[in-house]
Amino acid sequence: MITINPKLLEVILLACLEKSPINLRGVDETQVCRARNAIMRAQRHRKATGLREIVTRNEFLTAFLDHTSGAAAEHPIVRYGFQYARGTDID
Interval 28-64: pLDDT, tens: 888 888 888 888 888 888 777 777 777 888 888 888 8
- Rounded to the nearest angstrom, the gap between the alpha carbon of residue 46 and the centroid of all alpha carbons in its chain is 18
Question: Could you give the number of structural domains in the chain?
Answer: 1
Asked if residue 17 belongs to a domain, the reply is no
- Rounded to the nearest angstrom, the gap between the alpha carbon of residue 71 and the centroid of all alpha carbons in its chain is 16
Average pLDDT over all residues of the chain: 77
Higher pLDDT, 82 or 32: 32
Q: Is the pLDDT of residue 91 over 60?
A: no
Asked if residue 75 belongs to a domain, the reply is no
Asked if residue 87 belongs to a domain, the reply is yes
pLDDT of residue 1: 75
Contact 42, 76 (CB under 8 A): no
Range of the structural domain that residue 47 is part of: 24-70+81-91
